[in-house]
């Protein structure tokens, strides 16, 4: 499991470590006893019990067997998988190709009713055009994915966009003005994307805000993130994909979104910035 600074991920690791420690104590064993029964160095059981080293599935099986608690194995391994899923490196997420990575997120979009998305570097996926998505995913594939299933991945993202037209859902998109001028895919693709933003902004269930470029901002740009209802935040970083579920962290991103939303312009003012970006491209 990759180590993340997220307190959500750390909390999940700590809960798992505590449960393993409880099994050990209930069996009347010490950490050294567990290590001896499993054939480990004593420091390994200590690191696991103190959440400094995450156990593997095989470690959990051996631990439960040593404690005579084999009936707990499946549940503890499921907890391990949950903790692992909070931080996923891109190589692991995309090892089978980009299509699978796109499809894996679809259930989350299906069950969410209130979406908040902030982007400081790209147009959010739900409001991308086909050409823009193709350019983005092609760039990703060339940089870090051996499997070339870009066409299938684009189709999966386009299919996901149907939630945008479900009147029971609400969407709030915030983008930095610089996003309007980033040239991914070339001039024609970007002009088409900007035109699409003008259309999306007219949907009754969509709020589209643009944070203007200006000096002396009260809140600087941050990493792009999605808030799904009030239950989960996903953050895309250079090294991987972070999932946050701890209420305090979700609230922190919700507060950040509100602060950035206060800096944004909407309606005619947002359309003016989009149109100006289109004109600058000729």
pLDDT in tens, 196-211: 999 999 999 999 999 9
What confidence category does residue 6 fall into, taking pLDDT thresholds of 50, 70 and 90?
A: low
Tokens 């189709």 found at? 155
Residue 62 is predicted with a pLDDT of: 96
Q: What is the pLDDT of residues 132-144, one digit of tens each?
A: 999 999 999 999 9
Q: Which residues are registered as beta bridge partners of 244?
A: 233
Q: Report residue 64 CA to chain centroid gap.
A: 32
Task: Calculate the average pLDDT of the chain.
Answer: 92
| CB of 171 closer than 8 Å to CB of 115 | yes
Q: Is residue 105 in some structural domain?
A: yes
Whether residue 235 is found in the same domain as residue 271? yes
Is 141 found in the same domain as 72? no
CA geometry: angle 162, 167, 169, nearest 5 deg: 80
Within-domain flag for 2: no
pLDDT band at 3 (very low <50, low <70, confident <90, very high): very low
- For the ranges 43-47, 149-153, 225-229, 239-243, the lowest mean pLDDT is seen at 239-243
State which of 85, 118, 148 marks the end of a domain. Answer: 85
Helix (H), strand (E) at residue 116: strand 114-119
pTM above 0.85, yes or no: no
**pLDDT-wise least confident of 36-50, 80-94, 149-163:** 80-94
Q: Which residues pair with 89 in a beta bridge?
A: 240
Domain boundaries, position 75: 7-85
Task: Judge whether 65 lies within some domain.
Answer: yes
**How many structural domains does the chain have?**
2
Distance, CA of 107 to CA of 232 (rounded, Å): 13
Assigned token pair, 165: 């037209």
Looking at the fold, whether 152 and 185 belong to one and the same domain comes out as yes
Q: What is the CATH classification number for the domain harbouring 81?
A: 1.10.260.40
Flag whether 221 is in a domain.
Answer: yes
Which CATH number do you get for residue 146?
A: 3.30.870.10
- State how far the Cα of 61 lies from the Cα of 154, in Å rounded to an integer: 40
Does residue 143 sit in the same domain as residue 216? Answer: yes
Is 94 found in the same domain as 16?
Answer: no
Q: Are residues 57 and 34 in the same domain?
A: yes
98 plus 230 within the same structural domain: yes
From 85, 114, 147, give the residue that closes a domain. 85
pLDDT greater than 90 at residue 258: yes
Taking residues 34-60, report their average pLDDT.
93
Query: In the block, which residue shows the tokens 């203007």?
Result: 212
Of 85, 109, 128, the position where a domain reaches its end is: 85
Structure-token match 């999966």, residue found: 156
The answer to whether residue 132 is domain-embedded is yes
Q: How far is CA 15 from CA 18, 79, 80, 167, 258, in A?
A: 5, 9, 10, 39, 31
Assigned token pair, 178: 């610089």
CA angle, corner 141, sides to 147 and 91, nearest 5?
75
Over the stretch 32-43, which tens digit does the pLDDT of each residue have? 999 999 999 989
Confidence band for 248, pLDDT divided at 50, 70 and 90: confident
- Residue 103 inside a domain? The answer is yes
| Same domain for 262 and 168 | yes
User: Sorting pLDDT into bands at 50, 70 and 90, what band is 1?
Assistant: very low
Pair (99, 80) in one structural domain: no
1 within domain boundaries: no
Q: Say if residue 199 is in the same domain as residue 157.
A: yes
Q: Are residues 223 and 172 in the same domain?
A: yes
Q: Do 198 and 104 share a structural domain? A: yes
- The verdict on residue 32 lying in a domain is yes
For residue 223, report the phi and psi dihedrals to the nearest 5 degrees. Answer: -65, 150
């Amino acid at each position: 499991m990759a180590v993340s600074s997220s307190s959500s991920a750390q909390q999940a690791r700590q809960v798992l470590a505590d449960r393993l420690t409880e099994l050990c104590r209930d069996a009347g064993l010490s950490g050294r006893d567990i290590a001896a029964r499993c054939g480990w160095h004593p420091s390994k059981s200590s690191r696991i019990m103190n959440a400094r080293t995450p156990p593997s599935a095989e470690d959990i099986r051996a631990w439960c067997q040593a404690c005579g608690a084999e009936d707990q194995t499946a549940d503890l391994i499921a907890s391990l998988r949950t903790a692992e899923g909070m931080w996923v490196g891109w190589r692991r997420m995309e090892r089978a190709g980009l299509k699978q990575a796109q499809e894996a997120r679809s259930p989350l979009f299906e069950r969410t009713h209130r979406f908040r998305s902030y982007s400081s570097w790209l147009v959010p996926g739900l409001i991308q055009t086909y050409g823009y998505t193709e350019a983005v995913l092609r760039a990703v594939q060339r940089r870090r994915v051996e499997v070339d299933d870009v066409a299938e991945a684009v189709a999966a993202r386009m299919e996901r966009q149907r939630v945008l037209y479900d009147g029971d859902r609400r969407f709030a998109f915030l983008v930095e003005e610089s996003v309007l001028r980033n040239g991914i895919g070339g001039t024609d693709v970007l002009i088409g994307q900007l035109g699409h933003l003008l259309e999306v902004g007219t949907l009754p269930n969509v709020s589209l805000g643009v944070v203007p470029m200006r000096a002396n901002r009260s809140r600087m740009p941050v990493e792009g993130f999605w808030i799904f209802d009030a239950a989960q935040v996903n953050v895309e970083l250079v090294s991987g994909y972070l999932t946050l579920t701890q209420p305090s962290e979700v609230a922190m991103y919700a507060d950040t979104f509100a602060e950035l939303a206060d800096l944004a312009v909407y309606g005619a003012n947002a359309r003016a910035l989009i149109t100006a970006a289109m004109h600058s491209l000729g």
